[in-house]
Every structure is written in structure tokens, then in C-alpha cells.
Structure 1
């Protein structure tokens, strides 16, 4: 299943936590779970789109992100139903 966690800034970031977050994203990528991620340019936060078996695993993945685990960001999880050419954009 495809999930997204939306993050909201809670306190200013530092280099150490940013570096830990990047390493975490690299690990998700190496596991074939990371699909897309990045900060928002018009909102104080960012998102990570990823694959997980279920909501329980998705929650564990989000809560293990150093941004969230260290309290720098809060989060909300959403389940995404992908629309694409293969499924005729869910028509």
C-alpha cells in the first residue's frame, strides 16, 4: 500500500537532525519503500511518500524518522490510492 506522512515543523532544525533524516530516507530507498519526499516551498513542513504493508507498519516508519522521533516535526499519515495510466486514472 502507498502512504504519505505530512510533517509540520515544531522547532528549528539543526544540521545533525537533517543529516540523520537524510540517512533515514536513504535507508528507506535501499529497502524499496521510498517513492517521493521533500520539503514544501509554501508551507513550513514536508512530506514522505512510501510503501508499507499496512497502517501499523506505516506508522512505525513515520515515527522512526529522526525529524519525528526527535520532536522536530509532528506528522499525519494518509493512505494514497495511486491514479495512473495503468488504472486509467481511477476512471
Structure 2
């Protein structure tokens, strides 16, 4: 199991607004399956990020491609493996 960062840069603001409810429902479904470590939007409106817990890069790419934002062309998905280093709290 590894961590995979999915950057979701904005492609179309109107489509992002329209498909936001579907995107959030998709993330909630993925969270319920234990697949999401963290997610959030960028306050400057440039997009957002999801960190998936997956077995491999291909699996994370598949989940990212199934996001309604990506399916409908509102956002692009850029997937990278992430080697998390926990910090001291």
C-alpha cells in the first residue's frame, strides 16, 4: 500500500461548478472504502488535490480517471507516487 497524490488543476470553472456535487459524492464513496488519506481545494481557485492510498500507481490512476471532474473535463488529473515522511507533532 502506498500514497498517491492526484493534482486536479482547473480546466473549466463552469464545469467544476456543475459537477462539484458529483465529485464530492465520489470522494465520499472513496473515503468510505478507505481509499483516501486526505483531500482539499486550493483557496486561489486553481484546483485541488486528493491523496489516495492504493496498491500501485495504476490503481490510483484508475480512481483519479473515474472522478466526475475528470470524466467531464472540468479538471485534469496528474498522479504521482508520494513517499510520505510523518512529521513530529
| Bucket of the pairwise TM-score, normalised by the shorter protein | 0.7 to 0.9
What pairs up with 1:59-70 in 2 under 5 angstroms?
59-70=61-72
Higher deviation after alignment, 17-26 or 41-50: 41-50
Q: CA RMSD in A?
A: 1.5
Q: TM-score, normalised by structure 2?
A: 0.87
Tell me the residue number matched to 2:17: 14
Partner SS, residue 77 of structure 2: strand
Question: Runs of 5+ in structure 1 lacking a partner?
Answer: none
Distance in structure 2 (CA, Å) of the matches to 1:5 and 1:25: 12
Give 1:42 deviation, angstroms.
Answer: 3.1
User: Larger C-alpha radius of gyration, 1 or 2?
Assistant: 1
**How many Å apart are 1:29 and its aligned residue?**
0.6
TM-score, normalised by the number of residues in structure 1: 0.86
- Report if aligned partners of 2:9, 2:46 keep a CA contact under 8 Å in 1: yes
Moved segments of 4+, more than 3 Å? none
**Separation of aligned partners in 2, 1:77 and 1:43:** 19
Q: 1:5 aligns to what?
A: 6
